[in-house]
Chain A
């Protein structure tokens, strides 16, 4: 099992460019999440998907869109990147209950110039 995979690992964008971060899990989990990690801020939830076909905003959704393509895949799109979106992005999945452990991918380091 690969667990949670993310692509790409690194990306540099210019302000205004768009890109999609891909995430896939092979654990048959119902819930998937996108977080960003910034120094001194911990992990902040951007969007989550409680189950296939549903998505909801987290704490910091502005400037992002998501798609739960199927049970395995959950993508994060930046339509017009801004320097404030420079961060490390983590995708995670969990079976679904609030007490369930979340399993994280290795992260994508994004720099917006």
Chain B
């Protein structure tokens, strides 16, 4: 059973609007969360992260929100740009398994000009 879930395989958004990508996890012991972005034929690249002691982290157009009670996090992109079209992976890690990061299946975002 997947410990990190991204239930929307794909999402389409108009340029300039907000993109909201969602992620749910099952293990309440996860204490660090990351988002990676992947373009075709390239490796994933780190986008933004959040510690479980916070509920929000912002970096330019990207904001990640964490709701620990719901075991849910979301990535907001405002405003969305065509260059944001990519696959976004949510990932979670455990302090006790510091070398292991569990990735979700990814959401493919298309930003339409």
Contacts and interface: CB of A to CB of B under 8 A. Distances in A.
Contact of B100 (A4, A48, A99, A104): A48
B32 A99 contact: yes
Interface string B37-79: 0000111111001010000000000000000000000000000
Interface in B62-113: 89, 93-95, 97-101, 103-106
A85 to B, nearest CB: 19
A16 to B, nearest CB: 28
A97 B43 CA distance: 20
Interface string A85-111: 000001010001111011111110000
Nearest to B47: A101
Interface residues of A, number: 27
B34 interface: yes
A53 interface: no
A92 B43 contact: yes
Interface residues of B, number: 28
B51 A48 contact: no
Contacts of B44: 43, 90, 104
B21 interface: no
B78 to A, nearest CB: 23
A97 B98 CA distance: 6
Nearest to A54: B99
A99 B9 contact: no
A43 B89 contact: yes
Nearest to B46: A101
B103 A44 contact: yes
B104 A106 contact: no
Given A43-B44, A92-B43, A99-B93, 8 more contacts: A42-B89, A42-B103, A42-B104, A44-B103, A58-B100, A98-B32, A98-B94, A99-B32
6 contacts: A48-B100, A98-B93, A98-B100, A101-B34, A103-B46, A107-B42
